[in-house]
Amino acid sequence: MNVRTMATSGVIAALYVAVTFLIAPFGFMLVQFRVSEIFNHLVVFNKKYIFGILIGVFVANFLFSPILVDVLFGVFHSLLALSITILSAKFIKGVIKRMFINTAAFTVLMIIIAYQLKIFADIPDYNGIPFLSVYLILALGEFIIMTIGIPIMHALDKRLNFKKLI
């Protein structure tokens, strides 16, 4: 990994953590609106962004999650979804289409986070809620944030040219 990639990954990780911190209570509840998830769309522009995103998820979950195992599940969830998006780039041309694939991958794979919450969360609010309900609530929050992120990241790319930044 070259110096530019390492530096950019550090900046992305720091931004992910900072944005997560700003909305921390809303990013770790049953209804999650983790605005920092918008950064996941960066891999659509360049697969090298995966490093900064995964580091950001790791650090944010380590610092702010009430469930320590969220570090493992969150990174696994992100790694799997980002990998699907990166692999889809071979078959799907067009940034907007790939961002929709990315959104779908993260939304569907929220089943991993739902499983984690149902198994490891010792939070009274989760007791008695059926697994499917937990999954659908988490998936809906992820879908909303990631969908809102599509036009934002597309507009930022026109200004910043994400493909060449890393």
pLDDT tens per residue, the chain (166 residues)? 799 999 999 999 999 999 999 887 666 666 677 899 999 999 999 999 999 999 999 999 999 988 889 899 999 999 999 999 999 999 999 999 999 999 999 999 999 999 998 888 766 556 677 889 889 999 999 999 999 999 999 999 999 999 988 8
pLDDT value for 42: 98
User: Looking at the 3D structure of the chain, how many domains does it have?
Assistant: 1
Q: What CATH number does residue 47 fall under?
A: 1.10.1760.20
The residues near 82 (Cβ < 8 Å, ≥ 6 apart) are 40, 43, 50, 53, 54, 102, 105
How many CA atoms, within 13 angstroms, populate the side-chain half-sphere of residue 114?
A: 21
Chain-centroid distance, C-alpha 122:
23
* pTM confidence score: 0.92
What pLDDT sits at residue 66?
Answer: 80
75 alpha-carbon distance from chain centroid: 9
**Segment (H or E) for 72:** helix 70-88
**CA dist., res. 30 & res. 51, Å (int):** 27
Q: Which range of residues forms the domain containing residue 80?
A: 3-165
**Spatial distance between the Cα atoms of 99 and 113, rounded to a whole number of angstroms:** 21
